[in-house]
Amino acid sequence: MGSKKRTPLIRHLINTLILLIIITIGYVCYTIVYDLRVRFINRSELNDLAGVNKEYAERFEHFVDDIEKESGWKVKIISGLRSREEQIQLKRDNPRNAAVNKSRHVLGRAVDINLYKRVGLTTLWLKKGNSKGSWRKTGVPEIANRYHLLWGGTYRNYHDPVHFEIN
Ligand SMILES: [Zn+2]
């Protein structure tokens, strides 16, 4: 009697296990593709910056590499070089954004980055809305210092921890 009842239970356990393995493989594939896409975006942002000034672009590239090596966070460049038109539009959308003649993005001297990190099945993000303290804890502002990049987290009147620029 016992063996007849155990067989469906074992089959059920095996099916559950197979399902879990499929989900895990699916998730791992998704993260690999996601990270490759981010790398591609970062590469193209850095290439655009290099079109303006190679030395600046290299400095940002080393900065990004060091963050990924030392902090345990991955970098997604969300903005690099901007056209004058894009900056004028940003200023229109939010008057607190830099004017076109003041933005380092237009000159190819700034990047905005988000940081992300996977913990189990969740992804932690550090974005513009996060506190300066959370950003400081990652060690990224210190790495920026090493490359003589001014951190937007040090602005007095504007909260911009995603921004790093060559002054
Ligand atoms: Zn910026």
pLDDT in 10s for each residue of the chain, 167 residues = 555 567 889 999 999 999 999 999 999 999 999 999 999 999 999 999 999 999 999 999 999 999 999 999 999 999 999 999 999 999 999 988 888 888 899 999 999 999 999 998 899 999 999 999 999 999 999 999 999 999 999 988 889 999 999 98
Q: How many angstroms separate the alpha carbon of residue 118 from the centre of ligand 1?
A: 25
Q: How many angstroms separate the alpha carbon of residue 117 from the centre of ligand 1?
A: 21
The domains found in the chain, sorted by start residue, are 2-165 (3.30.1380.10)
User: What CA–CA distance (Å, rounded) separates 127 from 50?
Assistant: 25
| Nearest by Cα to 111 from 50, 158, 157 | 50
Q: How many angstroms separate the alpha carbon of residue 31 from the centre of ligand 1?
A: 27
Name the β-bridge partners of 126: 115
Is 156:150 a contact under the CB 8 Å cutoff? Answer: no
Q: What's the pTM value of the predicted model, to 2 decimals?
A: 0.87
User: Side chain identity at 147, as an amino acid letter?
Assistant: Y
